[in-house]
């Protein structure tokens, strides 16, 4: 066994070369492409409404941020339509956008392109529906497409099949930190030289009775059924829980040498990344935010920057009572008296879970590119326990070089990603 001491401050020394983002894709409650999503986000629009996917009238929570007007048949052939469900279809549609923007020659580099897929709950909705169908059925038969359409790794598998990608494939299911952890995992694959580029994608669709009932009984969800657009209130004193969101996100991450060799335009650099555990509780965060603080600090160490380099934080900010306070405490521990401005885009999109960790990093990249920071909407009454600058209600013009994204999940999972202007 090695006698060498582990040094977090030396992590960056393992990096062989810079890693850059060259493609972005988003399927969200605010729009079916990146420009539409970004424009609606900056305008302070809400994607939350009354549930339309099924009759939720008997549930205590009847609201969600559904993806509107998504027609999978416009994106995919019958093979994918039969062998996948919404959480995979959202991710694949976002991946089409990201790969188109990156212009990565897929056939040329097929064996050196990896896939990392993220989802918190995979096919929970179709699993619930199939169970109900089975117990009502006299024949007790379920479609042969059922299992491959709901197991989470099929997001990566379908991406590989659809795009002809033959490099390494991994699936990350670390609850609501899965999107950030997928980017970290992609970076590790690239650092280990297992591949030269990675398609990182995530998908989520849990707008179903079983998931909503369980989360409602756990008192995790907002019950503001009367005013859906105002239901998600991150950091506000009257917040009463998160709103379920759905959608897909995708990023192309590649070695800078590959991007240069093919004349690609890098959109941003991946500067830092980290993952930690609270080791505290299965659903509640550490009340002092210790695990999240360690995660942010480790990401800063990997990036080899001081806290004051960060110009903006896209917070996890789900609008739960305990979670928003814990994250605020964590930010204060790391940044002290000079906390950067911070916002939660979940006021607009709801909590997109595994997909959200990716779209929120995408949001950081766009903030750096455009010099505009998205607002925390529905913020009207300050909470004394949440006393930072949350960019309330209106986007802010602000030039930054570094942005940080936090994604925190059940079980005490913490993920932090830092991106930098190229």
pLDDT, tens digit, 9 for 90 and up, residues 29-72: 999 999 999 999 999 999 999 999 999 999 999 999 999 999 99
Specify whether 368 is located in the same domain as 300: yes
Shared domain for 373 and 395, answered yes or no, is: yes
| pLDDT for 16 | 66
Q: Are residues 236 and 289 in the same domain?
A: no
- Quick check: is 139 in a domain? yes
Q: Report the C-alpha gap between 319 and 299 in whole angstroms.
A: 24
Whether 7 is in a domain gets the answer no
What pLDDT, on the 0 to 100 scale, is given for residue 137?
87
Lowest mean pLDDT among 126-130, 240-244, 291-295, 309-313: 126-130
Instruction: Give me the number of domains the chain comprises.
Output: 2
Does residue 34 lie in a domain region? yes
Domain contains 117: yes
Statement to judge: residues 109 and 225 lie in one domain: yes
Between 253 and 133, residue with greater pLDDT? 253
Residue 5 lies in a domain: no
* β-strands 197-204, 413-420 pairing: unpaired
Instruction: Give catalytic residue positions.
Output: 176, 316, 351
Task: Kindly state the tokens that stand for 234.
Answer: 């991150």
Q: What is the pLDDT of residues 191-225, one digit of tens each?
A: 999 999 999 999 999 999 999 999 999 999 999 99
Based on the fold, state whether residues 411 and 330 are members of the same structural domain. Answer: yes
Q: How confident is the model at residue 129 (pLDDT cuts 50, 70, 90)?
A: confident
Q: Is residue 408 part of a domain?
A: yes
Query: Do residues 246 and 120 both lie within one domain?
Result: yes
Of the residues 261, 291, 309, the one at which a domain ends: 261
- Look up the domain containing 292 and give its range: 268-420
**Among 226, 245, 261, which residue terminates a domain?**
261
In a domain, 65, yes or no: yes
Kindly state whether residues 221 and 311 are assigned to the same domain: no
Q: Is residue 207 located within the same domain as residue 283?
A: no
Q: Is residue 4 part of a domain?
A: no
Q: Which helix (H) or strand (E) holds 83?
A: helix 78-83
For residues 198 and 291, state if they share a domain.
no
Q: What is the CATH number of the domain that holds 297?
A: 3.40.47.10
Tens of pLDDT, residues 1-30: 334 333 444 444 445 699 999 999 999 999
Same domain, 213 and 283: no
Among left, alpha and beta (phi > 0; psi -120 to 50; other), residue 315 is beta
pLDDT recorded at residue 132: 87
- Indicate the SS3 state at residue 363: helix
| pTM, 2 dp | 0.94
Q: In this structure, are 191 and 332 located in the same domain?
A: no
The CA-CA-CA angle for residues 262, 263, 264, to 5°, reads 95
What CA–CA distances, in Å, run from 411 to 105, 174, 326, 419? 39, 9, 15, 26
Give yes or no: residues 158 and 234 share one domain. Answer: yes
The candidate with the shortest Cα–Cα distance to 350, out of 359, 337, 340, is 359
Name the 3-class secondary structure at 214.
Answer: helix
């Amino acid at each position: 066994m090695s006698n060498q001491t582990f040094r977090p401050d030396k992590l960056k020394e393992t990096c062989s070369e810079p890693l850059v983002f060259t493609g972005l894709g988003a399927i969200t409650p605010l729009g079916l492409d990146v420009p539409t999503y970004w424009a609606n986000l900056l305008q302070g629009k809400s994607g939350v409404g009354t549930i339309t996917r099924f009759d939720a009238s008997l549930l205590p929570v009847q609201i969600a941020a559904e993806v509107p007007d998504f027609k999978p048949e416009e994106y995919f052939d019958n093979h994918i339509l039969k062998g996948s469900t919404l959480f995979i279809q959202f991710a694949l549609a976002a991946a089409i956008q990201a790969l188109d923007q990156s212009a990565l020659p897929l056939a040329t580099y097929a064996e050196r392109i990896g896939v990392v897929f993220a989802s918190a709950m995979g096919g929970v909705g179709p699993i619930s529906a199939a169970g109900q169908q089975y117990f009502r059925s006299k024949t007790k038969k379920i479609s042969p497409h059922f299992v491959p359409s709901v197991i989470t790794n099929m997001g990566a598998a379908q991406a590989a099949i659809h795009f002809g990608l033959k490099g390494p494939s991994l699936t990350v299911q670390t609850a609501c930190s899965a999107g950030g952890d997928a980017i970290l995992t992609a970076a590790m694959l690239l650092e280990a030289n297992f591949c030269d580029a990675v398609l990182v994608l995530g998908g989520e669709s849990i707008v179903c009775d079983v998931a909503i009932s369980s989360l409602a009984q756990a008192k995790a969800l907002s019950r503001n059924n009367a005013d859906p657009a105002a239901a998600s209130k991150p950091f506000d004193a009257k917040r009463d829980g998160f709103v379920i969101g759905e959608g897909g996100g995708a990023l192309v991450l590649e070695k800078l040498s590959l991007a240069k060799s093919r004349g690609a335009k890098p959109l941003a650099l991946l500067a830092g990344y980290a993952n930690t555990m609270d080791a505290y509780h299965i659903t509640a965060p550490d009340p002092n935010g210790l695990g999240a603080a360690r995660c942010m600090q480790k990401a800063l160490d990997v990036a080899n920057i001081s806290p004051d380099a960060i110009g903006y934080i896209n917070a996890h900010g789900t609008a739960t009572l305990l979670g928003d306070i814990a994250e605020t405490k964590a930010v204060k521990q790391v940044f002290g008296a000079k906390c950067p401005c911070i916002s939660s885009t979940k006021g607009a999109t709801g909590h997109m879970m595994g997909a959200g960790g990716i779209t929120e990093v995408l949001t950081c990249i766009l903030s750096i590119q455009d010099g505009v920071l998205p607002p925390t909407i529905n913020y009207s009454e300050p909470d004394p326990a949440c006393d930072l600058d949350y960019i309330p209600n209106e986007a802010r013009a602000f030039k930054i070089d570094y942005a940080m994204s936090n994604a925190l999940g059940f079980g005490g999972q913490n993920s932090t990603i830092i991106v930098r202007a190229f």
